[in-house]
Chains A and B, each alone.
Chain A
């Protein structure tokens, strides 16, 4: 029955995804977004989906950041970014990563990573649900494939 899922609700064929490897970093929030990502990750593994979370930036094409960027995590994010091979993208998930949310800049926090670097994917929410995150990732990934940028 799996072939039934090859079509979306509107009858349009769902494109087959090139594998998307994501390296996640929690950079200083309440970890609510990270908890929702864990739920998503578990579902993706169970479904053997073409989107997966990897344990090292050296395997990743997308760096996904949650939480407001703390001063101490900034060099860690920079190192992870530099370790990513080839074409790479940055995603900010959750209000904190987008614009700082309830944790705007102060002595310990730089604010949302999206305020400091070009991001390919922005998803606000406090926190966004796993379904919302998945939809955003799939939409971004398929649009990138169609544009030939992934």
Chain B
């Protein structure tokens, strides 16, 4: 059996209302798991609906979902073959109490022991035991022998990022041990989505992560459209234009934060001015600075022109050229980020990291060129491929240029007057959009026009899992810059 057999094996499963999803027997699921060890087919997500566990793969340019029934509260783990599945398996256990057989790590990921119930997504969740007085961590032997200092990062540092905690073992100058603690930003979105009408659910999807709100809105909308087979060419084109504006704003924000962290005032000032200009233009032209609630199902408004303002295009073209010059100047941001926080291509593949961070690590091929809104460029285009902070920031700077090119060609794009409401849809669908930090996925099951089950895949989860590999060997002073360059969002990862 070769690698392609994993996809072929999935397609032998039972068909469902979702064209990309196939139901496997537990034995076939096990065969698939073994076949995965002989293929590079990336795993993009893993989730449960209480009855089945679903795994999302990318087979060439097509998404492919394998499902297996949960038997006696268990299913066969995929994390031995796909390391990136580990956090998903722990989340499934936290939310449903469904165990992954063969998983190497069963420590809770979201549940810090403070929820009033255990396994909250079950129909009748059992009450939880008393909350712990303090947190317990286990340090590895190397750190214990070194007797070093343990430093914390987050969840509250006075900054403006969503909360998560890093426990950093620092026996000497360099970090040797990294433990992540998540769940601070968990809002129970899966539970909230159940029973909502699509218009209400879209408001929640828009607020998963404000740095990628258009990407989430578009992916959610595409999932709904897939359920009902609705044509959405005009809406998709509008979403791509707004998504491009959002990508530029988020990249500028990331670059500005990185410059502030290294004290590059000139770069930070210019990036900040451009960012504010883009946000104010969004407010004037699209009605919201952060583009929330632009794609609400059932919304009927007069069609409005989305063509970006010429002044903004010119300002971004001029500003980006100056940012590039400042980025490359002696003692500039490029020089200060070199060799920091290196994510090798092997580690990026191991954790399933895509988007600009994966490309900065030298992953030149991602099998999604046919999807709308996708951009393809090789790492060589920007002269970097080391996977360090400089490479990641250079990719973002490069993508700003691509975005401006795309916006300047987006004439006569109009937001349609009415958006389908999906008020009587029944079935399943999956949708995707390319967010500023990587691909965003939404899977939805509708029953009588109401959300029966929902899942969202955000690129931040894979990056957070990779943090131990990225931060090991760094100094504590560089942690903030490295984390900023990754564009992490705990809000997107925790849901």
Please tell me if the beta carbons of A107 and B191 are within 8 angstroms of each other in the complex: yes
**Inside 8 A of B207's CB, which chain A residues have their CB?**
29-30, 32, 102-103
A113 and B209 CA atoms in complex are apart in Å by 20
Does B487 lie at the interface of the complex (its beta carbon under 8 Å from any beta carbon of A)? no
Q: Quick one: which of A34, A35, A109 contacts B187, CB cutoff 8 A?
A: A109
Please tell me if the beta carbons of A28 and B186 are within 8 angstroms of each other in the complex: yes
> Given contacts A102-B203, A106-B191, A106-B192, are A30 and B163 in contact (CB under 8 A)?
no
A108 and B114 CA atoms in complex are apart in Å by 8
Closest residue on chain A to residue B117 by CB atoms: A107
Please tell me if the beta carbons of A108 and B292 are within 8 angstroms of each other in the complex: no
Please tell me if the beta carbons of A70 and B185 are within 8 angstroms of each other in the complex: yes
Please tell me if the beta carbons of A39 and B187 are within 8 angstroms of each other in the complex: no
A26 and B491 CA atoms in complex are apart in Å by 10
Q: Is the interface of A mostly helix, strand, loop or mixed?
A: mixed
Does A117 lie at the interface of the complex (its beta carbon under 8 Å from any beta carbon of B)? no
Which of A31, A102, A106, A126 has the most chain B CB atoms closer than 10 A to its own CB? Answer: A31
Q: Quick one: which of A27, A56, A72 contacts B183, CB cutoff 8 A?
A: A72
Does B64 lie at the interface of the complex (its beta carbon under 8 Å from any beta carbon of A)? no
**Inside 8 A of A32's CB, which chain B residues have their CB?**
207, 210, 213, 290, 292
Binary flags per residue of B360-386, CB closer than 8 Å to A gives 1, else 0: 000000000000000000000000000
Please tell me if the beta carbons of A30 and B191 are within 8 angstroms of each other in the complex: no
Please tell me if the beta carbons of B156 and A31 are within 8 angstroms of each other in the complex: no
Does B229 lie at the interface of the complex (its beta carbon under 8 Å from any beta carbon of A)? no
Which of A46, A53, A70, A107 has the most chain B CB atoms closer than 10 A to its own CB? Answer: A107
Does B18 lie at the interface of the complex (its beta carbon under 8 Å from any beta carbon of A)? no
- Taking the closest CB of chain A, its distance from the CB of B127, in whole angstroms, is 11
**Inside 8 A of A25's CB, which chain B residues have their CB?**
156, 158, 163
- Taking the closest CB of chain A, its distance from the CB of B314, in whole angstroms, is 22
- Taking the closest CB of chain A, its distance from the CB of B167, in whole angstroms, is 15
Closest residue on chain B to residue A108 by CB atoms: B188
Please tell me if the beta carbons of A31 and B114 are within 8 angstroms of each other in the complex: no
Q: Quick one: which of A28, A56, A68, A77 contacts B158, CB cutoff 8 A?
A: A56
Binary flags per residue of A5-38, CB closer than 8 Å to B gives 1, else 0: 0000000000000000001111111111011111
**Inside 8 A of B290's CB, which chain A residues have their CB?**
32, 35-36, 127
**Residues of A62-78 contacting chain B, CB below 8 A:** 68, 70-77
Please tell me if the beta carbons of A30 and B157 are within 8 angstroms of each other in the complex: no
Please tell me if the beta carbons of B289 and A129 are within 8 angstroms of each other in the complex: yes
Binary flags per residue of A87-126, CB closer than 8 Å to B gives 1, else 0: 0000000000000001100111100000000000000001
- Taking the closest CB of chain A, its distance from the CB of B405, in whole angstroms, is 25
- Taking the closest CB of chain A, its distance from the CB of B218, in whole angstroms, is 16
Does A150 lie at the interface of the complex (its beta carbon under 8 Å from any beta carbon of B)? no
> Given contacts A30-B213, A36-B289, are A108 and B160 in contact (CB under 8 A)?
no
**Inside 8 A of B203's CB, which chain A residues have their CB?**
102
Chain B interface residue bracket vs A: 35 or more
Please tell me if the beta carbons of B160 and A35 are within 8 angstroms of each other in the complex: yes
**Residues of B249-266 contacting chain A, CB below 8 A:** 253, 256-257, 260
- Taking the closest CB of chain B, its distance from the CB of A9, in whole angstroms, is 21
Please tell me if the beta carbons of A72 and B184 are within 8 angstroms of each other in the complex: yes
Does A42 lie at the interface of the complex (its beta carbon under 8 Å from any beta carbon of B)? yes
Total A residues in contact with B, Cβ cutoff 8 Å: 43
Does B269 lie at the interface of the complex (its beta carbon under 8 Å from any beta carbon of A)? yes
**Inside 8 A of B275's CB, which chain A residues have their CB?**
39
A59 and B146 CA atoms in complex are apart in Å by 34
Please tell me if the beta carbons of A108 and B186 are within 8 angstroms of each other in the complex: yes
- Taking the closest CB of chain B, its distance from the CB of A104, in whole angstroms, is 9
Please tell me if the beta carbons of A35 and B186 are within 8 angstroms of each other in the complex: no
**Inside 8 A of A68's CB, which chain B residues have their CB?**
187
**Inside 8 A of A39's CB, which chain B residues have their CB?**
272, 275-276, 279
**Residues of B94-136 contacting chain A, CB below 8 A:** 112, 114-117, 120, 125
Does A136 lie at the interface of the complex (its beta carbon under 8 Å from any beta carbon of B)? no
Please tell me if the beta carbons of A29 and B491 are within 8 angstroms of each other in the complex: yes
- Taking the closest CB of chain A, its distance from the CB of B203, in whole angstroms, is 6
A107 and B184 CA atoms in complex are apart in Å by 13
Closest residue on chain A to residue B289 by CB atoms: A129
Please tell me if the beta carbons of B160 and A34 are within 8 angstroms of each other in the complex: yes
- Taking the closest CB of chain A, its distance from the CB of B274, in whole angstroms, is 12
Closest residue on chain B to residue A105 by CB atoms: B188
Does B208 lie at the interface of the complex (its beta carbon under 8 Å from any beta carbon of A)? yes
A70 and B196 CA atoms in complex are apart in Å by 21
**Inside 8 A of A102's CB, which chain B residues have their CB?**
203-204, 207
Does B344 lie at the interface of the complex (its beta carbon under 8 Å from any beta carbon of A)? no
Does A144 lie at the interface of the complex (its beta carbon under 8 Å from any beta carbon of B)? no
- Taking the closest CB of chain B, its distance from the CB of A45, in whole angstroms, is 9
**Inside 8 A of B158's CB, which chain A residues have their CB?**
23-25, 53-57
**Inside 8 A of B120's CB, which chain A residues have their CB?**
107-108
Q: Quick one: which of B125, B160, B188 contacts A41, CB cutoff 8 A?
A: B160
**Inside 8 A of A108's CB, which chain B residues have their CB?**
115, 120, 186-188
Please tell me if the beta carbons of B116 and A107 are within 8 angstroms of each other in the complex: yes
Q: Quick one: which of A38, A46, A106 contacts B160, CB cutoff 8 A?
A: A38
**Inside 8 A of A109's CB, which chain B residues have their CB?**
187-188
Please tell me if the beta carbons of A24 and B115 are within 8 angstroms of each other in the complex: no
- Taking the closest CB of chain B, its distance from the CB of A118, in whole angstroms, is 20
Interface residues of chain B, those whose CB is within 8 Å of chain A, are 112, 114-117, 120, 125, 155-163, 183-188, 191-192, 203-204, 206-211, 213, 253, 256-257, 260, 268-269, 272, 275-276, 279, 283, 289-290, 292, 489, 491
A-B contact pairs, 5 of them (CB 8 A): A28-B162, A30-B210, A32-B210, A107-B117, A108-B188
- Given A25-B158, A28-B184, A108-B187, 8 more pairs with CB closer than 8 A: A26-B185, A29-B187, A72-B183, A72-B186, A103-B192, A103-B207, A107-B115, A129-B289
